[in-house]
Amino acid sequence: MSGRAKKRAHTIEAGTVVASFGRQFAVEVSNGRLITCVTRGKRTDIACGDRVDVGLTSPNQGVIESIAARTSLFYRSDVQREKLIAANVTRVVVVLAPSPPFHIELLDRCLAAAEDAGIHALLALNKMDLPSAAAVLASLALYARLGYEVVQLAAKIDIAPLRACLATHTSVLVGQSGMGKSTIINRLLPDASARVADLSAALGSGRHTTTHARLYHLAFDSHIIDSPGLQEFGLVHVEPEDLARCFIEFKPYLGQCKFNDCKHLSEPGCAIGAAGESGAIAPSRLASYRTLVTQLMKKARRWD
C-alpha cells in the first residue's frame, strides 16, 4: 500500500462489509458503491455484515477505521484462531441434504453456536426430490420437536418455501460442502453471478472470493450471507460450564444436578444424565454434548 494510503483519510463514509479476502474487504456504502478496503495494522476481527466507517484514500479505495457495535456475531473457533462467519444476523440457516450425507454432530455444533450467540436457527432440508429425502426428514423430527423449524425444499425446483422464511431477516447460510447453498443463492438471486463478479472485481482477486462469506440483498429489509462450506465447527470460545445451556432441551434440567459443577458426563445425581436415560433427552444429542464438552475441558486444562 502506498504512503498516501497509510495516512488517515479525511473523508469518512459509513458502509457494510459485503465480502472479504484475507485482509482485504469490499464495503458497500450508502449509494451502493463498492469500496475496496484494508485495515490498519494486522487487524482481522472483521466479519461479513459488519457496519463500518471507511476512510477514503481514493474514490474506490479506503481504510476501515472503526466497526460499529454488533447486534450478533456467528463464528467458530479452534485452539489456534477464531473464524468469524457473519455479523449482525438475525437468523442462521443450516442447510442439509440427503446426499452427500451430513454429520449430525456438525449440525449440533452449528445449533449450539447459534444458541450461544442468541441467534434464531432453522434447518433447511434441500434436495427433497431425491428418493432418500423422506428418511432424512424423519431423522430430523427430533429437531422439530425441540422447536427448530425444518424447511423442506428442492432448490432447483422451487425456492419459495425458504424465501418466505428469509423475509425481514438478515440470514446466514451455513452447512457442509455439497448441500446446495450455491444453488439456493442462485435461485434466490438470479443475478447472483453478476454480483459475485462485481465483488471479485472490487477485491481484484475473483478466483478467491468463493472461499469467503458474501452478502446479498434480497429486498430493502432482507439480506442473506453465503458462507464457505464447513468440514468442522469448533467451539473453543464456549466455556465448558456454559455449553449445556446451548443445548436447548437441557435447560429445564439445569440447576437440578446433585453437584453444582456437574459437567453432565457420568457424575452421580446428574439430572441431564437421568433425562437421557429416561428418553427425555435424545441419546444422539447427549452424545454430541458429551463429545464436545470433553474437548472443551481438555482445552481449558491446556490453558490453566
| Cell numbers describing residue 177 | 460442502
Distances (CA, A) of 115 to 73, 98, 173, 212, 247: 11, 25, 16, 23, 8
Within this chain, do residues 149 and 194 fall inside the same structural domain, yes or no?
Answer: yes
Q: CA 186 to CA 205: how far, in whole Å?
A: 21
Within this chain, do residues 219 and 249 fall inside the same structural domain, yes or no?
Answer: no
| Residue 30 burial by Cβ neighbours in a 10 Å radius (0-12, 13-18, 19+) | exposed
In a domain, 268, yes or no: yes
Residue with cell 454488533: 70
Within this chain, do residues 85 and 218 fall inside the same structural domain, yes or no?
Answer: yes
Question: Which of 57-61, 66-70, 194-198, 234-238 shows the lowest mean pLDDT across its residues?
Answer: 194-198
Cβ-contact 88, 170 below 8 angstroms: yes
Within this chain, do residues 138 and 194 fall inside the same structural domain, yes or no?
Answer: yes
| Cell numbers describing residue 160 | 419459495
In a domain, 232, yes or no: no
Q: What pLDDT does residue 191 have?
A: 77
Within this chain, do residues 222 and 266 fall inside the same structural domain, yes or no?
Answer: no
- Domain harbouring 105, CATH code: 3.40.50.300
pTM over 0.75: yes
- Stated length of the chain: 304
Strand, coil or helix: what is 110? Answer: helix
Within this chain, do residues 82 and 221 fall inside the same structural domain, yes or no?
Answer: yes
Taking residue 167's Cβ as centre, other Cβ atoms within 10 Å add up to 11
Within this chain, do residues 218 and 170 fall inside the same structural domain, yes or no?
Answer: yes
Domain that holds residue 293: 240-303
Within this chain, do residues 92 and 61 fall inside the same structural domain, yes or no?
Answer: no
Within this chain, do residues 93 and 62 fall inside the same structural domain, yes or no?
Answer: no
Within this chain, do residues 218 and 98 fall inside the same structural domain, yes or no?
Answer: yes
In tens, the pLDDT along 72-84 reads 999 999 877 889 9
Strand extents, DSSP E, the chain:
12-21, 24-29, 34-39, 51-58, 61-67, 73-77, 82-87, 91-96, 120-125, 149-152, 170-174, 214-219, 222-226
Q: CA 199 to CA 180: how far, in whole Å?
A: 21
End-to-end CA distance of the chain: 41
Within this chain, do residues 101 and 141 fall inside the same structural domain, yes or no?
Answer: yes
In a domain, 231, yes or no: no
Count the domains in the chain.
3
- Domain harbouring 247, CATH code: 1.10.40.50
DSSP secondary structure letter of residue 52:
E
DSSP secondary structure letter of residue 87:
E
In tens, the pLDDT along 8-63 reads 446 999 999 999 877 889 999 988 899 999 998 777 789 999 999 999 999 889 99
Q: CA 65 to CA 40: how far, in whole Å?
A: 7
The residues, any chain, with a CB within 8 Å of residue 284's CB and separated by 6 or more, are 104, 142
Q: What pLDDT does residue 303 have?
A: 46
Q: CA 46 to CA 64: how far, in whole Å?
A: 9
In a domain, 185, yes or no: yes
Average pLDDT score, the chain: 89
Distances (CA, A) of 250 to 146, 186, 243, 247, 289: 10, 38, 10, 6, 10
More confident residue, 208 or 48: 48
What's the mean pLDDT in 214-239? Answer: 93
Strand duo 82-87 + 61-67: pairing: unpaired
In a domain, 234, yes or no: no
Question: Which of 64-68, 98-102, 154-158, 228-232 shows the lowest mean pLDDT across its residues?
Answer: 228-232
Of 202, 226, 250, the residue at which a domain comes to its end is 226
By C-alpha distance, which of 71, 75, 68 is closest to 88?
71
Strand duo 12-21 + 170-174: pairing: unpaired
In tens, the pLDDT along 90-127 reads 999 999 999 999 999 999 999 999 999 999 999 999 99
Give the rounded distance of the alpha carbon of 35 from its chain centre.
24
Within this chain, do residues 178 and 296 fall inside the same structural domain, yes or no?
Answer: no
